[in-house]
Structure 1
Amino acid sequence: MTDTARTQPTTEPTAPQTVRRVLQRFVLPVDRDLDVIPLYVDSEAAVLDADRDSIGGNRSAKALNKAALRQSTGAGTSMRGDAILGRHRLRVDAGTHLSLGTYFNGFAAGYWRRWTVVTDIRLTVTVSGAGAHVVVYRSMANGRSQRVDSQTSTSHERTTFEFDLSLIPFQDGGWYWFDVIADDEDAILEEAVWDAEVPADRAEPGTVTVGITTMNRPDFCAKLIGQLGADDEVRSLLDEVLVMEQGTKKVVDDPHFAKAEASLEGRLRVIEQANLGGSGGFARAQLETLRADRSTYVLFLDDDIVAEPESILRTVTFGDLARRPTIVGGHMFSIFSKSRLHSYGEIVNRYRFWWMSPPSVEPDWDFGARNLRSTRWLHRRVDVDFNPWFLCLIPTSVVREIGLGLPLFIKWDDSEYGVRAQAAGYPTVTLPGAAVWHVPWTDKNDALDWQAYYHQRNRFVAALLHSPYKHGGRLVRESFNHQVKHLVSMQYSTVELRHQALEDVLSGPEHLHRDLPVKLGEIREVRASFTDSQLKSDPDAFPPPRRERPRKRDDQSEIPSRAAQLVSAGLGSLRQLRKVRPLSREFPEAVVPAMDAKWYRLASMDAAVVSMPDGTSAALYQRDPERFREMLRKTVEIHQRLHREWPLLAEQYRSQLAEITSEEAWSETFGIAPEVGE
């Protein structure tokens, strides 16, 4: 070795530079709405439900546990509204114990562990009041909790505690949270922040273009715009808020609009266009975002939601720190019962090609009855295939690579996009702690009204694009079964719309852009000729029910067994060919509430007045044997053809996907000039 070599200085590897970044802030309801308090602060004890291993495989035991799971664990304690001192300040009365292990204030560690570059976090809590105890807990994926650390203030002045916490134990899920316990005097939770050391190149938050599609909901839409502008932190992330105005009742004419517009300080643009449905509105937002070429993300929001503004900050932060470009969405609570969680993640069953909640998820969950710390299933991480577009953040880089949404008008555009992104290597994460309040799907009638066309057509289009099965798995058979159910239920308008949907599918992908602005008018014209689609709100619009011979037993409240339903299916189908009872042409045989309007009940009737799920109206259903025969024949022919032609049809749709979702195709549909160079 030479002297020169011996004297050369050794270079130590340079440690990667990091900066500290806020991940999540402690928040309280914007308007002190007591209905949503359980989502922010919990005054109840934790009573964890039974572990599945202790229940075992016995069917009766499982059923009993399911029932017990829905029972309220609350003792009736409640927090007064005057304890909320601001958006980030909370009073804890002397001698009381409040937990922040809640939907909006717990930290969903399992999601950060799986999907982001964050490995360690720090919780900083500031309290005032002598004897204020701050206790930190963590849960495992099976819901069991452990005490992690605690500190107690000794001064009446503001005291700040820091807790360094690891994300390593959260492979399958789990949360962090903290409780505040006041001693002999009131304590004030002044603020709390979860932050982390992150790579320096991720220090600056990404920016957002918000896309809102609106159609005759000016009041909701104007208030939503105002929510975006009212939060300084949210406003700082916004490049532009785009409102795609597709209705006749304009958002600009709403009394709240001027103030909402001013709050965004020049960042609002209203784009008027034809009614192209949600897909036309959100695709326009994608296109405008790409053309502006300045935003990291495009964020979709429905026009009829109430948002928790902190959700926008959290989805952007999560997206910034994700391991790879990731679509980040939020959950949906009912706007009518605000502590009820309606959607907690969505997957697509590839065999049926149907959207659904993952198997571990319990639908319609009421946090007001059973809190997060008492609910085992909420601690397991839920992985999804897509996020509905009521709150969905999409990286602009993903849009550039996989294209814009499909021209589907409504239904399946969001789920198809998530599946398409997933196939390209871009996951979707539905992030706990990010949510909106929205009208739940269960309160709508979209499987039977004009939207039935889009449900049917778009599901088949998505399956043709992405189903791994040669003939679409179970989809064709399931579609046929549903058609028969609608037929024996006298829902002839729905059957006809679903026929048209499948005929359009068979015509190939060329019809998608062509039909986008005109199809809705055609659908409504078709439905107008069917009595089951003619809704009337006046209770006296229909004759009173009458039968020549009343039923011996007419209990419609019980759900029949599966075996009984199979018998009903056979007998109900056969009786559709018999002559109708003459009196049923003048009088309905029954008035059937929406919750009882199942096919196995309607199949035994010749006429019925059936109410709609939203409770606003009803329609007259009348059995028609000739129409039944013709529609059944057509149903058989269409489904045989679908099964036979599926492989070729799938090849056509897949080969044209890039063109259909391109900027050029959408620009032509919008009637706007392509950019120079396109």
Structure 2
Amino acid sequence: MSAVGSTESGSRQSGEEEAWSEDAETVSNGAGLLAGSAGGFGILSDGHAVAHPGQRMTLGTYFNAFPASYWRRWTNVEEVTLRATVSGHGTFLVYRSTSKGHVLRSASKSIDSDDPVDVEVTLPLKPFIDGGWYWFDVEAADREMVVHSGEWLVETERTTPGTITIGITTFNQPTFCVDQLAALANSQEVLDVLDEIVVVDQGTQHVRDHELFTAVSKVLGERLRVIEQGNLGGSGGFSRSMMEAVDRGQSDYVLLFDDDVQCEPEGILRAIAFADLAKTPTAVGGQMFSLYDRSVMHAYGETVKKYRWFWGPAPETEHGHNFARKSLQGTKWLHRRIDVDYNGWWMCLIPTSVIREIGLSLPMFIKWDDAEFGLRAQEAGYPTVTLPGVAVWHVPWHEKDDTIDWQAYLHRRNRLVAALLHSPYSRGGRLVWESFQTQIRHLMSMQYAPAEMGLMAIEDILDGPNRMHHDVLYRVPEVRELRKSYPDSQMKPALDEFPAPRRVKPPRKGKGPQAPGNRVAQLKALALGGLRQLQPIRSTAVRNPEATVPHMDLRWWLLSQLDSALVSSADGTSAAWYQRDPEQFRDLLRRSVTLHVRLYEEWPKLVNEYQRALPDLVSPDAWRKTFEQSMEPGPGA
């Protein structure tokens, strides 16, 4: 038997409050990530979970339930055995769900013992093609029932688990990184399967200098290696970890981690067990919870919408699901099996055999590197599975808007490059048109810096793929320098540091611009707003901003009606004074039209160029040269 997951009823890793169901007779209301109950939940001092007399406790929760449909689809496992140790007086009940979220009882057993007794039941995976989970509940009678332990087991001929190299890319996050190293060092189960941890430090605040690093490094010994190199972004950091693991030739897998995550070590073991038993070499990804609101899941599964060529939540899933408010059992979409195109590299286990065959990451710096790698692996016959019950807590991204800072260049360039390599549609589907629409939104919003960076991205793509390794070294500092010259990128920490807003002409009838409600209204707003961009600027708008616009209200149809405005940043820490510039608008519009027409016309030629160049771009030899160059004076951001 091989263990593929254990219950964590005594763990408090999730940080959420215990969730209580409303009705002791209804199992579908159990909530939370770890264990939920109907009116009687407790944690004993030794870490066991207890159901008080007359109460029911469910282990049908995110970390304790068994995601049967994923094992049914991606492995050859045909049945799973639940083994639990319990004591007390009551009933041990096993349930399964269907892909539609319906709950069915699979087995039950009466328990009457003050001493711990083992309960074991073998369950088929046949009914789980489209979705469904297994879990168990305990219902106490006149005495409490205690769950001492539980695990899910499968039969396998394999006698030892695969081993891993953990690759952590870090940039000026020494405390996060050392905390993560300490958590790994304190898990004997992880150490048992660990060959090496490779920390690729690309910052100026080095991990080695942290006050706790020496103590952690003594525990990990020769299994910890810190490599310092120039800042090549996530693609450069993770490519270095991949290359080091492949060169060493010891590990079955590379496990990629962001530096600012907190990991449940049990999830590492589950990912390895799943990959060990997968039908084909498979990347196994972890799901992402919010580090600040720990029961909120931000990413359940990710796909690329092929016609638009845009990443996002997989169909039938939602971003931001809060398990403290709505349980696994009470959320029907969580019972469907979700197939993905890739997994974010906040946590992703990749077989080294796959890396040897398809290469390292593209030199993209950040943005789309994980998606492109997943799509490339998929085309080579190697799927990615985002496995429920495997997760990290990560700083959420919803308080950022990196589409208008220096990363706008990377968003645009890398999205287009990934489409050139993998889009199934002629000329990228809607992508070129959407890129042009993005330019228009920026121009109508007085966002001239991201508009310029978008054009720089297209110019670089038209220049061909051979510059990508050069650009991963040098382009980001150049982009950062470029945007400094634009008012919409000149941030100050307080609104008081700007002149007070003043508008000479009040809004008509006291009403500001309204969101266009249909396509005709949108076209009208676009036409009127576009004509306004060509008009002279009111002199008063040069001396004073005309309005203050919170970032949440940042819309092109609103900003297009103003000559200037104070606009706050997404994280609320600063603001910029947007200022309309008719001359700059004309120049950027003209170049936007020219470059997008050229991109559309040259698309087939670019597809051939980039696809021919791909093997070299992702090769260890090409990356080795880039790693060496990154240590020379100048490169890095």
- TM-score with structure 1 length normalisation? 0.88
Alignment match, 1:634: 591
Alignment match, 2:616: 659
Letter in 1 for 2:105: R
Contact 1:43/1:79 (8 A) holds in 2: no
Alignment match, 1:524: 480
Distance 1:664 1:37, change over 3 A: farther
Q: What are the Cα deviations for residues 591-626 of structure 1, in whole angstroms up to 9, with x where unaligned?
A: 111111111211111111111111111111111111
Q: 2:545 aligns with which of 580, 588, 591?
A: 588
The DSSP-based 3-state class of the residue aligned with 1:442 is coil
Q: What are the Cα deviations for residues 430-488 of structure 1, in whole angstroms up to 9, with x where unaligned?
A: 00001111122222121110000100001111111111222111110010011000100
Distance 1:557 1:578, change over 3 A: closer
* Bigger shift: residues 226-235 or 136-145: 226-235
The DSSP-based 3-state class of the residue aligned with 2:215 is helix
| C-alpha distance in structure 1 between counterparts of 2:10 and 2:22, whole Å | 16
Instruction: Please report how far the alpha carbon of residue 78 of structure 1 lies from its aligned counterpart in structure 2 after TM superposition.
Output: 7.6
Instruction: Please report how far the alpha carbon of residue 403 of structure 1 lies from its aligned counterpart in structure 2 after TM superposition.
Output: 0.6
| C-alpha distance in structure 2 between counterparts of 1:556 and 1:253, whole Å | 54
The DSSP-based 3-state class of the residue aligned with 1:461 is helix
Please give the residue correspondences for 1:223-622 in structure 2 after superposition, counting only pairs within 5 Å: 223-552=179-508, 559-563=515-519, 564-622=521-579
| C-alpha distance in structure 2 between counterparts of 1:326 and 1:47, whole Å | 34
Alignment match, 1:72: none
Contact 2:255/2:347 (8 A) holds in 1: yes
The DSSP-based 3-state class of the residue aligned with 1:98 is strand
Structure 2 stretches lacking a partner, 5+ long: 30-35, 631-637
Letter in 2 for 1:342: H
1:112 aligns with 2:71: yes
Letter in 2 for 1:83: I
Alignment match, 1:63: none
| C-alpha distance in structure 2 between counterparts of 1:33 and 1:86, whole Å | 18
Letter in 2 for 1:189: V
The DSSP-based 3-state class of the residue aligned with 1:117 is coil
Instruction: Please report how far the alpha carbon of residue 251 of structure 1 lies from its aligned counterpart in structure 2 after TM superposition.
Output: 1.3
| C-alpha distance in structure 2 between counterparts of 1:105 and 1:539, whole Å | 49
The DSSP-based 3-state class of the residue aligned with 2:350 is strand
Q: 1:124 aligns with which of 83, 94, 102?
A: 83
1:219 aligns with 2:200: no
Distance 1:604 1:97, change over 3 A: same
Distance 1:306 1:414, change over 3 A: same
| C-alpha distance in structure 1 between counterparts of 2:515 and 2:101, whole Å | 34
Alignment match, 2:136: 178
Q: What are the Cα deviations for residues 312-340 of structure 1, in whole angstroms up to 9, with x where unaligned?
A: 11111100000000010011111121111
Distance 1:142 1:555, change over 3 A: farther
The alignment's C-alpha RMSD in Å is: 2.2
Letter in 2 for 1:567: K
Instruction: Please report how far the alpha carbon of residue 95 of structure 1 lies from its aligned counterpart in structure 2 after TM superposition.
Output: 2.6
1:644 aligns with 2:591: no
Q: What are the Cα deviations for residues 351-397 of structure 1, in whole angstroms up to 9, with x where unaligned?
A: 11111212211221111111111111000000001001000000000
Distance 1:163 1:616, change over 3 A: same
Distance 1:313 1:555, change over 3 A: farther
| C-alpha distance in structure 1 between counterparts of 2:538 and 2:38, whole Å | 58
| C-alpha distance in structure 2 between counterparts of 1:24 and 1:461, whole Å | 39
Instruction: Please report how far the alpha carbon of residue 309 of structure 1 lies from its aligned counterpart in structure 2 after TM superposition.
Output: 1.3
| C-alpha distance in structure 2 between counterparts of 1:47 and 1:527, whole Å | 56
| C-alpha distance in structure 2 between counterparts of 1:504 and 1:469, whole Å | 22
Distance 1:47 1:97, change over 3 A: closer
Instruction: Please report how far the alpha carbon of residue 553 of structure 1 lies from its aligned counterpart in structure 2 after TM superposition.
Output: 5.2
Alignment match, 1:24: 5
| C-alpha distance in structure 1 between counterparts of 2:597 and 2:275, whole Å | 45
| C-alpha distance in structure 2 between counterparts of 1:86 and 1:460, whole Å | 54
| C-alpha distance in structure 2 between counterparts of 1:451 and 1:184, whole Å | 61
Distance 1:218 1:170, change over 3 A: same
Instruction: Please report how far the alpha carbon of residue 128 of structure 1 lies from its aligned counterpart in structure 2 after TM superposition.
Output: 1.7
Contact 1:48/1:143 (8 A) holds in 2: no
Aligned length: 623
Distance 1:302 1:96, change over 3 A: same
Alignment match, 1:162: 120
Contact 2:447/2:488 (8 A) holds in 1: yes
The DSSP-based 3-state class of the residue aligned with 2:155 is strand
Instruction: Please report how far the alpha carbon of residue 92 of structure 1 lies from its aligned counterpart in structure 2 after TM superposition.
Output: 2.4
Alignment match, 1:68: none
Letter in 2 for 1:180: V
Contact 2:72/2:129 (8 A) holds in 1: yes
Instruction: Please report how far the alpha carbon of residue 258 of structure 1 lies from its aligned counterpart in structure 2 after TM superposition.
Output: 2.7
Instruction: Please report how far the alpha carbon of residue 672 of structure 1 lies from its aligned counterpart in structure 2 after TM superposition.
Output: 8.5
The DSSP-based 3-state class of the residue aligned with 1:511 is helix
* Bigger shift: residues 646-655 or 561-570: 561-570
* Bigger shift: residues 530-539 or 378-387: 530-539
Contact 1:106/1:177 (8 A) holds in 2: yes
The DSSP-based 3-state class of the residue aligned with 1:209 is strand
Structure 1 stretches lacking a partner, 5+ long: 1-19, 50-74, 674-678
Distance 1:281 1:537, change over 3 A: same
Letter in 2 for 1:152: S
| C-alpha distance in structure 2 between counterparts of 1:544 and 1:596, whole Å | 19
Q: What are the Cα deviations for residues 67-117 of structure 1, in whole angstroms up to 9, with x where unaligned?
A: xxxxxxxx997877x615456x22222332111111111100000000011
Alignment match, 2:59: 100
- TM-score with structure 2 length normalisation? 0.94
Instruction: Please report how far the alpha carbon of residue 668 of structure 1 lies from its aligned counterpart in structure 2 after TM superposition.
Output: 0.8
Contact 1:85/1:91 (8 A) holds in 2: no
Distance 1:33 1:415, change over 3 A: closer
Contact 2:94/2:134 (8 A) holds in 1: yes
Instruction: Please report how far the alpha carbon of residue 260 of structure 1 lies from its aligned counterpart in structure 2 after TM superposition.
Output: 2.7
1:136 aligns with 2:91: no
Distance 1:432 1:398, change over 3 A: same
| C-alpha distance in structure 2 between counterparts of 1:616 and 1:78, whole Å | 43
Instruction: Please report how far the alpha carbon of residue 261 of structure 1 lies from its aligned counterpart in structure 2 after TM superposition.
Output: 2.3
The DSSP-based 3-state class of the residue aligned with 1:248 is coil
Instruction: Please report how far the alpha carbon of residue 165 of structure 1 lies from its aligned counterpart in structure 2 after TM superposition.
Output: 0.2
* Identical amino acids, percent of aligned pairs: 48
Letter in 1 for 2:603: W
